[in-house]
A and B are shown apart, each in its own frame.
Chain A
Amino acid sequence: MSALVDIRNVSKRFAPRLSLGEKIAARLGQPIETRTVHAVDSVSFEIRKGEVLGLVGESGCGKSTLGRVIAGIHAPSDGVVTLDGAPILGPDGRKRTSRVQMVFQDPFASLDPRIRIGETISEGPIAHGLVSKADAKAYAAQWLAAVGLPADAADRFPHQFSGGQRQRVAIARALAMKPDMLVCDEPVASLDVSIQAQIVNLFLKLRREFGLTMLFISHDLGIVRHISDRIAIMYLGRIVELGPTEAVYKAPSHPYTRALLDSIPKLVTEAEELVSFKPILGELPSPLSPPPGCHFHLRCPRAEAKCREIVPARRETSAGRDVACHFPLEE
């Protein structure tokens, strides 16, 4: 399979706004405390045509930021994201292409509360010449049907829908742009448990029908395992492991992946079963001052002196599997 999206050495830093006083101090050569967040730190990987790539990691590790960079919402501080060889962003830092679309976590925030569903779905396609104003109504109805909503939904406002229905609208809006690539940022996390399966099934169906390529961001490892072909594990702004989903779940190479998989509570169905967690020790370090060397060394049971100094490069351990660790776990 060939690469559709290529992410090359992408970094995203958020610098705090300096107050006037701080700016003057900096001009005068005073060292001021740096509070830059390295949300994404030199990340490279590719997304293949037609695959679903899962991206998992703990809160604050930079998943959403990376997703937004790929979707062209944030300009990367360094590096470049290309789609079929062409950069996502124009030279002025604005997104031009409509071939990458995004579905957000919170369907209550991602739909404009004052705009009817029909217009929400058709305004992008009209602006990009995918459909004429005259045909917009039928076009919106067609996509509403594709996500399992009635055509009369087009005349209503977002507040008249439940969370699951709104997420369907958000998905229809993204699909109506006929994208090649869909970035989904925790699309089921804010939904009721009984609704999550419906939306997961919708993604599976759309993927079968439209051959969509997806980046599926989630912290629910069960759902990611179910839906993705390959999986990338992120820790404090870096990708620490990448490989085919089943292989990674069955035999994680990075100690963090192992620890993450061990921390997930499992459904206990035997009364006598003693629940055993092997929680990762320690706290997630602050992204303001990540530890040197391997970001995980403070919490890693395998850490040695080398880990505290040298950033481990990501390398291929076996066919199609990458890991960024000096002492990866053997199978």
Chain B
Amino acid sequence: MTDSTPLARFWSEFRTNKVAVCALFVVIAIVLIALAAPLIAPQNPYDLGTLVLMDARRPPGFVGTKGFTHWLGTDAQGRDLLSAILYGLRISIQIGIIAGGIAFALGVTLGTFAAYFGGRIEALIMRIIDLQLSFPAILLALVLAALLGQGKGPLIAALVTAQYAYFARTAHGAASSERSKEYVEAALSTPLAPTRVVFRHILPNCLPPLIVVATVQIANSIALEATLSFLGLGLPVSEPSLGMLISNGFQYMLSGRYWISIYPGVALIILIVAINLVGDQIRDQLNPRLRR
């Protein structure tokens, strides 16, 4: 027991929760499929040249003019929905991870240094973050997306701004409690440079709660991105993400062409629920109160 790595022990405990293992499998599968989208999708939904307007809004199972079956039907531009969803997932995951990653790095650095230095610096940083947390993230993202315009860059900036505060808050809480532990005092009395104390000692010990927040926040930023795109504030129409697919199909919902909206929605829900299930299990495992 003592010689196994922490990761191996973590995994052996993770394995005991069947639901979480399935969820993890789903997440990995979705990510792999999304990555491989250009290889497995029957059509390139971004290539306007391949779209046939005649095939627009066809129901699932329809065999199009190009000769392949549209298993999930087609949308208003005649895109194969399955292909569009695969490409959409790719974009959503990409944006979720990039935005989540940047928010993580920014928030965690701010939060940990605030906890390390204390005093005025801490008060200033944390007040700004508290202020920001008192606004709904969606509102903030909406305003920013509207201000910055369309495109991947602005969208990511909006998502990062809406989310880094959660990381900062969590990192600050964890780092504050680590800060007062004796191993940090030992590092101070050596003395070691602040950057080394923060990045080599404090930060690695704060990781458990941050990993939990990170999984949840990646799911959140995927959902947020979908929301923004749904509202038309996300990516340009030429690169439809899941949110925009849902939005585009929305007007046909009542005319019985449910599939244009529903299938991208289902894909989104499966992804987010699966990430959250994995995150829940990680949280339970890292929560010392629930440990046996």
Contact = CB atoms under 8 A, between A and B. Distances in A.
Interface stretch (B132-140, B143-151, B191-199): B191-199
7 nearest A-B pairs in the assembled complex, by CB-CB distance: A110-B182, A124-B190, A109-B182, A95-B191, A112-B183, A104-B182, A102-B189
A94 B193 CA distance: 10
Given A96-B191, A127-B192, A110 B186 contact: yes
A104 B190 CA distance: 13
Given A110-B182, A160-B2, A115 B201 contact: yes
Nearest to B203: A114
Interface stretch (A67-75, A222-230, A281-289, A315-323): A67-75
Contact of A72 (B191, B196, B200, B205): B191
Interface in A28-73: 68, 71-73
Interface of A: 68, 71-73, 94-96, 98, 100-102, 104-106, 109-115, 123-124, 127-128, 159-160, 170, 173, 177
Nearest to B201: A112
B189 A109 contact: no
A118 to B, nearest CB: 14
B227 to A, nearest CB: 34
A87 to B, nearest CB: 14
Contacts, number: 63
A73 to B, nearest CB: 5
Contacts of A102: 185-186, 189
Interface string B212-244: 000000000000000000000000000000000
B61 interface: no
B205 A68 contact: no
Contacts of B183: 109-113
B124 interface: no
Interface residues of B, number: 19
B197 to A, nearest CB: 10
Contact of A173 (B181, B186, B193): B186
A44 B200 CA distance: 37
A93 B82 CA distance: 63
Contacts of B269: none
B205 A112 contact: yes
Interface in B1-36: 2-3
A104 B205 contact: no
B177 to A, nearest CB: 12
21 contacts: A68-B185, A72-B188, A72-B191, A94-B191, A95-B188, A98-B191, A100-B189, A102-B185, A104-B182, A104-B185, A105-B182, A106-B182, A109-B181, A110-B183, A111-B186, A113-B183, A123-B192, A123-B196, A123-B200, A128-B190, A177-B190
B276 to A, nearest CB: 27
Contacts of B205: 112-114
A105 B201 CA distance: 19
Contacts of A101: 189-190
Nearest to B190: A124
A106 B189 CA distance: 16
